[in-house]
Amino acid sequence: MDELRDDFPDHPVRPYVWTSGRAHPSRNTIRPETLLAVDPDLPFPVSSTRQQRELLDMCRGVLSLAEAAAHLHLPVSLVLVLASDLVDSGHLSIRSALPQFARPDRDLLEKVLNGLRKL
């Protein structure tokens, strides 16, 4: 029975079993700083995994993807896949303006600057 205690060297990396083997998200509109929040009126999806439920539970308030990942002790890349699916299914919503590929405009930069000066 000793063979049974082999530590299978070829085992899949466990987090990616949670994402059904996917390493890439279903959408590219979520970044580490994207703010997410759960729709409190919507029940958890019936077929959700434990990690998806934990993510939804974590997003009862507004949090960035990176913060949710850090609090759940999961890699950002993994939570990105989980969150994308939940946004697609309508359980999680994106609370921040959609990410810009360009840099923030002058107006936004000035607001950030004023905020930093008040620190």
Per CB under 8 A, the segment of 1-9, 30-38, 44-52, 85-93 that binds other proteins is 30-38
Exactly one of 19, 25, 55, 86 binds other proteins (CB under 8 A); which one?
A: 25
With CB under 8 A as the contact rule, the residue among 44, 89, 90, 108 that binds other proteins is 108
Pick 42 or 113: Cβ nearer other proteins: 113
Cα gap 40→14, rounded to integer Å:
29
User: DSSP readout, 72-116?
Assistant: HT--HHHHHHHHHHHHHTTSEEE-SPPPPSSPPPHHHHHHHHHHH
Instruction: State the Cα–Cα distance between residues 102 and 42, nearest whole angstrom.
Output: 34
Nearest alpha-carbon partner for 81 in 47, 43, 110, 52: 52
Eight-class DSSP state of 20: T
52 sits near other proteins (criterion: CB under 8 A): no
Could you say whether residue 32 binds other proteins (CB under 8 A)?
yes
Q: Number of residues in contact with other proteins, rule: CB under 8 A? A: 47
Pick the piece of the chain touching other proteins (CB under 8 A) from 4-12, 41-49, 60-68, 85-93. 60-68
